Amino acid sequence: MYIQKVIEQEIKSNICNTILRALPDWFGVEASIIDYVNQVKSMPFYVAYEREKPIGFVAIKIHNEYTAEISVMGIINEYQRGGIGTKLISSVEEYCRTNQFQFLTVKTLADTVDFEPYERTRKFYYKIGFVPLEIFPLHWDIDNPCLFLAKKL
C-alpha cells in the first residue's frame, strides 16, 4: 500500500465518486456525493493505493492561511482499521505543516445520533489527536447534527 498526491481533476473526481458510492453508511445522499465529486477537483487530494487500485482518499479544503479542513475522506470497507486512514492523515498533516497551517479541522456526525459507522469515525479522529470543539445542530439538518473537531499542528 502506498499514498500518492493526485493533481489531475478528473482522476480526483473519479476516485472520489467510486469510493463514496462504495460507502453508503457514510455517504448515502446522492446530492452530497455529487457535491463532493465536483469540489475535490480544486483541492489537495491524496490517494491510498493497493496494487495500483485506489482504496482510500482524502481531500483538503483550505480555509485561510491558518486552517485547513479534511473536507471528505473515504476508505473502502475491507481496508478500514488497517492503518490506511492514519497514513492518509499523516500525508495531510505533512502537507499542512509544509504550508505552515496551524490547525486541521474536520466535521462529522455528532454523538447525539446513535449510528455505529460514525461512532467508529469519531473514535478514529480522537485516536489521532482531534478534539471536539462544538456541535452545530443545524449545520447539515436537524437529523444530522455536526460535530466540529480540530487538531493543532
pLDDT tens sequence across 12-32: 999 999 999 999 988 888 989
The domain spanning residue 32 has which CATH number?
A: 3.40.630.30
- The pTM of the whole model exceeds 0.85: yes
The confidence band for 140, taking pLDDT boundaries of 50, 70 and 90, is confident
Percent of the chain whose predicted confidence (pLDDT) is above 70: 100
φ, ψ for residue 45, nearest 5 deg:
-145, 125
Provide the pLDDT for residue 97: 97
How far apart are the C-alpha atoms of 5 and 33, rounded to whole Å? 21
pLDDT tens-digit readout, 49-58? 999 999 999 9
C-alpha cell belonging to residue 13:
473526481
Residue 67's nearest CA partner among 137, 148, 12, 5 is 148
Range of the domain at 73: 2-152
**What is the number of structural domains in the chain?**
1
